[in-house]
Structure 1
Amino acid sequence: MKRKMLAMSALSCIGGPALAQSSVTIYGVLDAPVEYVNNIARGAPSVVNNQLVPQSGGARVALANAGLSSPRWGLRGQEDLGGGLSALFVLEGGFGVDTGVQTSNRLFGRQAFVGLQGRYGKLTFGRQYTSIFDGFANFTPTRFAVLYEPIAWQLGVNYRSDNTVKYSGNFGPLSASAHFTFGAGAGVVGFTSLANGGAGETPGNFRDNTGYGASLTYLDGNVGATLVYDEWRPTATTGQPGTTRKFGSAVSYEIGAVKAFAGYRWNRSSFGNGNTFVRDDYWWTGVNLRVMPALGFSLAYYYADIKEARLGPTAPGTEPANPWQVTFVADYDLSKRTDVYVTTAYARNAGLNFDSSPISFATGYFPTAGQKGMYGVAVGVRHKF
């Protein structure tokens, strides 16, 4: 109640229309881990003669800017319009706890959307998560933990997109999601050689940077299953969109204090000239164990079978070594809002979270030259409000 009153007081300074909201809530997460990583380069590798050239580096001990969760704050509100219909909005921004710096130079870079909700579902407009994120969210052993899970590899870097219209609905144990992106913008991270960061909507070239997808999820008691599809047309050269397609499925089963997961994701990403960027099959499995009400363990294994990859539209295709990673988390709840944790991971044939295999992602776990493995461990505290 105090949070809602504080939000209403803050919004009253903006203008009268904000007071029409029947419910406004401030929420957020603060997460600060101290992390050790070995064999980590000082920056992203360069590309020379169609080869990745790693930078030098070594071991690093640091206060990381994210842990099991990405630090964030946000406002969400809802207004009852009558007849079972309501208006809603979400504004959410990310930042680093270690420096306080705003993520991606955007005030609300994580989510910014408005919509309507009724008995048949919810329709929202703006920057938001795509359907593949919704579909897999309940089927990852570490719940999309920043430390350490190959989220971008699994979902694609467009899992949060600008200029998006999305439908989501719940029907008993079934939930459905579908979206269309008119043009993924510069908020897309990584894949710069494929998409130039995403140029957004382009006059005269409607297909540039567009995307769409859907998911269908079943959750009933101790059994769960999901199906997902995602397509995106990243465009480095106007009028010549590339294509990245993903489809997959996952299952979960819970018995007593144990919950097991398994999933598969197919992917083919291509440049505008049709040459394959990355073609891979990605698998994961894991388990959650609640040993006591306040203490839980998570163990996960991730593996990518890379069939083909190239660093540029005209570069030769290669078949790099297949990356894999093991992740372990021990999490202890001090209260409903505060927990402490230890998380550790080992990756082979890549940096942690599959960085630099075969191309560079944005998480920054780039391995040094000659290294085939990377190890990381972090101890942190997280508070939700």
Structure 2
Amino acid sequence: MKKSLIALAVLGSVAGVAQAQSSVTLYGVVDAYAARVKSGAVGAETSTTVLNSGGLLSSRFGVMGTEDLGGGLKAIFKLEQGFDASNGTANANTAFDRQSWIGLEGGFGTVQFGNVWSAFDDVFYIGNSVFDSFVFSPGAAGFSLNGGPVLSVYNYTDKPRNAIRYTTPSFGGFSAAVSHGLDENAAAKTDQTDFNVQYANGPLTVAFAYQLRRDSGAITATEDQKFAYLDAAYDLGPVVLKGGFGQTREVLATKTNDYQLGVDFPLSSALTLSAGYAGSKDKDGSDTKRQGLAVGATYTLSKRTLVYTALNSSKRKAAGTTSHKYSFIGAGLQHKF
């Protein structure tokens, strides 16, 4: 009887250690907003009231986990699916459209294999004002303008798929990452390569990112696209200053210069205001320009729930004449679990 009790105690101890060495977490974000949107060619704008998903963060759910392999080495994975909170539909026709990767993590850094965020996307948020919102920030909002976004670098690919990515450890605040998406097609060369280098130490964060997309240009099927972006943020205490400058280049066509400036105002532990301005200009002789101005605020109700509001005004000019306008005012609710 005593031997049986001892054996059970030992098995329980081993099971406890094994459980401590592995963990799986279910997580997610539900984000929905209502907005009044006005857009279109000058003199022919139309107004619409919408209820959409993902005002600040894209709605998603996922599972991530780690296993301690010993010697400081860990096996890691993440499976993440996006969905539209306004109607309940899943993004794309895939099981895990946002992320699905497996990797190893240790003193050497992190290696990931699968559908993983590109190294370019990894640092783009740093200088992006109005909470890095894909909907509300001054550059992203220009997507509603005919003729392209306010910031052309928003055309970069965030997930190359079939990708391999390596991220270094931080060395005194310096780190780097490189990712490569395989085209898996012997008859074409539509692969994608990204890298970034960044410094994050104290109040200053600055990063440079680059993306090369082979044979993916808008003019010809054999045209490469190149995206370069430098952004930074500096925390002064009362405010956080943000900004960035980038360039998109198509080898056989044109190039576009982009820039943005922004500031975050933490008014209290719960309330934060953010404002930003973004612009771009095509360097192809057309003198096409895009400009966007946005202001937003978030109010934290708890550790997991917040409300937000934002307004935006954007326009597109060609040869000095405004051709298209876009504006909206909206509010939303977000919960994380």
TM-score of the aligned structures, taking structure 1 as reference length: 0.73
Shift of 1:204: 3.7
Separation (CA, whole Å) in 2 of partners of 1:21 and 1:153: 45
Change (3 A) 1:86 1:284: same
Shift of 1:236: 8.1
Shift of 1:20: 11
Contact 1:132/1:215, CA 8 A, preserved across alignment? yes
- Does 1:202 pair with 2:185? yes
Counterpart of 2:125 in structure 1 is 137
Shift of 1:339: 0.4
Shift of 1:174: 1.5
- Does 1:348 pair with 2:301? no
CA deviations on 1:93-138 (whole Å, 9 max, x unpaired) are 1110011111122221111111111111000011111111112222
Separation (CA, whole Å) in 2 of partners of 1:126 and 1:92: 12
Deviates more, 1:318-327 or 1:68-77: 318-327
Contact 1:40/1:59, CA 8 A, preserved across alignment? no
CA deviations on 1:194-224 (whole Å, 9 max, x unpaired) are xxxxxxx21243xx21111211111111112
Counterpart of 2:259 in structure 1 is 283
Separation (CA, whole Å) in 2 of partners of 1:119 and 1:334: 38
Contact 2:111/2:167, CA 8 A, preserved across alignment? yes
Shift of 1:235: 4.5
- Does 1:160 pair with 2:159? yes
Contact 1:235/1:242, CA 8 A, preserved across alignment? yes
Separation (CA, whole Å) in 1 of partners of 2:287 and 2:81: 36
Separation (CA, whole Å) in 2 of partners of 1:320 and 1:21: 59
The number of aligned residues is 302
Q: Which amino acid aligns with 1:119?
A: G
Q: Which amino acid aligns with 1:306?
A: D
In the alignment, which of 264, 268, 276 is matched to residue 245 of structure 2? Answer: 264
In the alignment, which of 283, 300, 303 is matched to residue 307 of structure 1? Answer: 283
Separation (CA, whole Å) in 1 of partners of 2:106 and 2:306: 35
Separation (CA, whole Å) in 1 of partners of 2:324 and 2:40: 11
Shift of 1:169: 2.1
Contact 2:131/2:274, CA 8 A, preserved across alignment? no
Q: Which amino acid aligns with 2:315?
A: R
Separation (CA, whole Å) in 2 of partners of 1:297 and 1:170: 33
Counterpart of 2:146 in structure 1 is none
Shift of 1:57: 6.7
- Does 1:333 pair with 2:300? yes
Contact 2:153/2:247, CA 8 A, preserved across alignment? no
Larger Rg: 2
Change (3 A) 1:236 1:224: closer
Counterpart of 1:322 in structure 2 is 289
Counterpart of 2:147 in structure 1 is none
Counterpart of 2:12 in structure 1 is none
SS across alignment from 1:154: helix
In the alignment, which of 326, 332, 335 is matched to residue 380 of structure 1? Answer: 332
Contact 1:132/1:155, CA 8 A, preserved across alignment? no
Shift of 1:319: 1.7
Change (3 A) 1:113 1:143: farther
Separation (CA, whole Å) in 2 of partners of 1:256 and 1:140: 18
SS across alignment from 1:159: coil
Change (3 A) 1:375 1:204: closer
- Does 1:231 pair with 2:219? no
Contact 2:274/2:297, CA 8 A, preserved across alignment? yes
- Does 1:121 pair with 2:121? no
Separation (CA, whole Å) in 2 of partners of 1:20 and 1:57: 59
Deviates more, 1:285-294 or 1:220-229: 220-229
RMSD between superposed Cα atoms in Å: 2.5
SS across alignment from 1:378: strand
CA deviations on 1:233-279 (whole Å, 9 max, x unpaired) are 14589x95320112221222111121001211111024xxxx31x41
Contact 1:133/1:155, CA 8 A, preserved across alignment? no
Q: Which amino acid aligns with 1:81?
A: L
CA deviations on 1:164-204 (whole Å, 9 max, x unpaired) are 10011232312211111112xxxxxxxxxxxxxxxxx2124
Counterpart of 1:39 in structure 2 is 39
Change (3 A) 1:233 1:216: same
Q: Which amino acid aligns with 1:218?
A: Y
Structure 2 alignment gaps of length 5 or more: 1-18, 141-150
Separation (CA, whole Å) in 2 of partners of 1:102 and 1:57: 31
CA deviations on 1:288-311 (whole Å, 9 max, x unpaired) are 000111000010111001112xxx
Q: Which amino acid aligns with 1:118?
A: G
Contact 2:34/2:49, CA 8 A, preserved across alignment? yes
Contact 1:342/1:379, CA 8 A, preserved across alignment? yes
- Does 1:244 pair with 2:225? yes
Contact 2:227/2:248, CA 8 A, preserved across alignment? yes
Change (3 A) 1:325 1:240: closer
Separation (CA, whole Å) in 1 of partners of 2:40 and 2:52: 14
Could you tell me the percent identity over the aligned residues?
27
Change (3 A) 1:334 1:256: same
Separation (CA, whole Å) in 2 of partners of 1:106 and 1:143: 28
CA deviations on 1:5-37 (whole Å, 9 max, x unpaired) are xxxxxxxxxxxxxx9981111111111101110
